[in-house]
Amino acid sequence: MTSTLLPGNIVYGGDIASSEAQNYRSLGQFILDKYKSFGDQTTMIDAVTGTEYTAKFMYDSIVRLAQILQKLGVKQNDVIGLSSENSVSFAVAMFAGFAVGATVAPLNVTYSDREVDHAINLSKPKIIFASKITVDLVARVAKKNSFVKGIIALSGTSSNHPKVYGFTELMDSDKFKTKPDFQSPAANKKEDVSLIVCSSGTTGMPKGVQLTQYNLLATLDSQLQPTAVPLAEVTLLTVIPWFHAFGCLTLITTACLGTRLVYLPKFEENLFLSAIEKYRVMMAFMVPPLMVFLAKHPIVDKYDLSSLMVLLCGAAPLSRETEDQIKERIGVPFIRQGYGLSESTLSVLVQNDEFCKPGSVGVLKVGIYAKVVDPDTGKLLGANQRGELCFKGDGIMKGYIGDTKSTQTAIKDGWLHTGDIGYFDDDLEFFIVDRIKELIKYKGFQVPPAEVEALLLTHDKIKDAAVIGKPDEEAGELPMAFVVKQTNVQLTEQDVIQFVNERASPAKRLRGGVIFVEEIPKNPSGKILRRVLRDMLKKPKSKL
The phi, psi pair for 165, rounded to 5°, reads -105, 155
pLDDT in tens, 11-39: 999 998 888 999 999 999 999 999 999 99
Q: Where are the domains of the chain?
A: 1-16+355-435, 54-214, 440-538
- Whole-number pLDDT of residue 336: 92
DSSP 3-state assignment of 243?
coil
d(CA 216, CA 232): 19
Q: Please state which architecture CATH assigns to domain 1-16+355-435.
A: Roll (2.30)
pLDDT in tens, 88-109: 999 999 999 999 999 999 999 9
**Which of 92-96, 161-165, 274-278, 370-374 shows the lowest per-residue confidence on average (mean pLDDT)?**
161-165
- DSSP-derived secondary structure letter, 442: E
d(CA 447, CA 206): 9
- DSSP-derived secondary structure letter, 466: E
d(CA 32, CA 52): 19
pTM higher than 0.85: no
Tell me if domain 1-16+355-435 and domain 54-214 are identical in fold.
Answer: no
3-class SS shares of the chain: helix, strand, coil, % to 5: 30, 25, 40
Fold of the domain built from segment(s) 54-214: Rossmann fold (3.40.50)
Q: What superfamily in CATH does domain 440-538 come from?
A: ANL, C-terminal domain (3.30.300.30)
Q: Is the pLDDT reported for residue 482 higher than 90? A: yes
Sheet with 164-166, strands from edge to edge, namely 164-166, 150-153, 127-130, 79-83, 103-106, 193-199, 207-212, 399-400
Which pairing describes strands 415-424 and 430-435: parallel, antiparallel, or unpaired? antiparallel
d(CA 210, CA 217): 14
- Whole-number pLDDT of residue 201: 47
Q: Helices 27-38 and 88-99 meet at what angle, rounded to 10? A: 130
d(CA 348, CA 342): 11
pLDDT in tens, 181-206: 999 999 999 999 999 998 754 445 78
- Whole-number pLDDT of residue 233: 82
